[in-house]
Copies of this chain bind each other. A is one copy, B any other.
Amino acid sequence: MTFSGKSLDVVFYPKSVALVGASREVDFYINTISASKLKENFFLVNPRYSEVLGFKCYSSILDIPKPVDYAIFAIPARLIPKVLEDCGKKGVKVVHIYSSGFSETGLEEGKRLEEEILNIAKSYGIRIIGPNCMGVYCPESGLFFSHDLPSDEGSVGFISQSGGQAISFIFKGMLRGFRFSKVISYGNALDIDFVELIDYLAEDSKTSVIGAYVEGLRKTKGLLETLKKASKIKPLVILKGGQTEDGARAAASHTGVLAGSAKIWEGFLRQVKAIQVENFDEMADIIVGFLYAFPPKGKGVTIVTTSGGSAVIHTDLCVKVGLTIPKFSEETQNRLRKFIPLAGTSIKNPLDAWPAFQYGTLPDALNVISQDENIHSLIIEVQPEEFKAYTTTDPTIVDKFTAIIGKTCKTIMNEQGKPVMIAVTRSIYPELEAKIKTQLQNMNLPVYHSVYDAAKTLSELFSKFTSINTS
């Protein structure tokens, strides 16, 4: 029995869902799905209760008066074979096993139980998600697996072997200004595995960029072709867990898979033109870059700050990540002098933009810089502290600044085809920092935590540009 990628539609878009083993302990499924688009077709099952959290509870899945596409199992591992048989009889198409206690325990019993479950599932044509995972988050269809997840849709598809990391990364998206088309935490990967999920998301029209956290693979069939294909269609950003020996040991006890050597993975991911990252912050950085900007066509970057002093350090950091900080051309310098009323020495890269903002010539100045042929991208550093002193005399100064910066960034990206990143630094005024970030993120701009993070991202995006254009 094989399935094509398309057959996973029912995994993300079930028309009806049952939660087997409903109790207060899994209120994060009950409260969220019962408030979603699925609410009319969401059923609780537990022979011990007639009602859970105010919702009717059936004794068996067979008692539900409507068809059920998708069942979530929150029951002890040993009870699963029996209930899975019931699901088969009911015509359930997908079973997500939230429960743990399988191969990840390292015990023979857990592995045997997994085999038994897989055999029953195959005999009924049921697809299995998990076990030992959070399942699916798809705001479009109404599937949720935690409180506080956004109900608005985005275009990031995220695949995670770890449930905790799946939730954390959705939160990270909220913090960084992006949302998700589909997230799946697939745990021990007894049936539905990495390759099939990548294949599905590659073809999914609602997904424009794919992120994946993988510890190890059960099935490697089609891996190379699928990843190659996917990374041609859309950016594919991968974090490999268990790269070190100690990490691989942790992975084995976490999701029961063998992690594989770091070197092999690194070479492999380079070969398939996926982008490998070291942690989830880097993954979010890259995703923001693809969503709200695009790869630069060269290494020359200009840094524009609202505070003069950090030119030297920023220059060092940009060079270290593989970019260059070219001098402005004579022409650019001459044109800038008309807008920025400063001593000649200050017309340099990095540029202090505060005077231009104060004199109202910032859009013109940025526009001139972006036309310099040695400059392929821009990073604008915003230090919230700089605004604090002015907010008393002009309470709208932040709104004015973000409106000007936002409009100018978009113009440069559209007209010059050069990406513009904005780095809002950590501030002693957290509300001011949050306000600036949120305003810029709401304009769908690429916002970073530091110039370094933005520079590292531009360098990665440039590699991606180069790899595409030399393939």
Contacts and interface: CB of A to CB of B under 8 A. Distances in A.
Interface of A: 101, 104-106, 147-148, 162-165, 167-168, 171-172, 174-175, 215, 239, 241-247, 249-251, 253-254, 278-281, 307-313, 315-320, 324-325, 343, 345, 348, 350, 383, 385, 388-389, 426-428, 430, 434, 450, 452
Contacts of A434: 430
A29 to B, nearest CB: 14
B316 A247 contact: yes
Contacts of A244: 315-316, 319-320
A420 B168 CA distance: 24
A336 B150 CA distance: 38
Contacts of A253: 345, 348
Copies of this chain in its oligomeric complex: 2
14 contacts: A101-B343, A105-B345, A162-B310, A163-B309, A167-B385, A168-B383, A175-B428, A241-B312, A242-B315, A246-B315, A250-B311, A250-B312, A250-B315, A251-B312
A113 to B, nearest CB: 15
Given A105-B343, A148-B388, A245-B319, 13 more contacts: A165-B313, A168-B310, A174-B428, A175-B426, A242-B315, A242-B316, A244-B315, A247-B313, A250-B311, A250-B348, A250-B350, A254-B311, A278-B317
B106 A164 contact: no
A319 B278 CA distance: 12
Nearest to A317: B279
A345 B313 contact: no
B315 A247 contact: yes
A249 B307 CA distance: 18
7 A-B pairs with least C-beta separation:
A164-B309, A247-B316, A244-B319, A241-B312, A247-B315, A162-B309, A250-B315
A147 B388 CA distance: 10
A148 B319 contact: no
Contacts of A104: 345
Contacts of A348: 250, 253
A163 B309 CA distance: 7
Given A278-B317, A348-B253, A452-B279, A242 B312 contact: yes
A236 B241 CA distance: 35
A292 B465 CA distance: 45
A73 to B, nearest CB: 18
Residue in A243, A246, A278, A324 with the greatest tally of chain B CB atoms within 10 Å: A246
A167 B266 CA distance: 41
A428 B175 CA distance: 6
Given A320-B244, A428-B174, A215 B312 contact: yes
A457 B361 CA distance: 43
A243 B318 CA distance: 11
A144 B36 CA distance: 56
A112 to B, nearest CB: 17
Nearest to A160: B309
Given A250-B315, A312-B215, A313-B279, A307 B164 contact: yes
B385 A148 contact: yes
A319 B244 CA distance: 7
Contacts of A324: 246
B430 A309 contact: no
Contacts of A325: 246, 250
B241 A162 contact: no
Contact of A313 (B241, B388, B450): B241
A249 B312 CA distance: 8
Contact of A164 (B243, B308, B315): B308
A308 to B, nearest CB: 6
Contacts of A309: 162-165, 167-168, 254
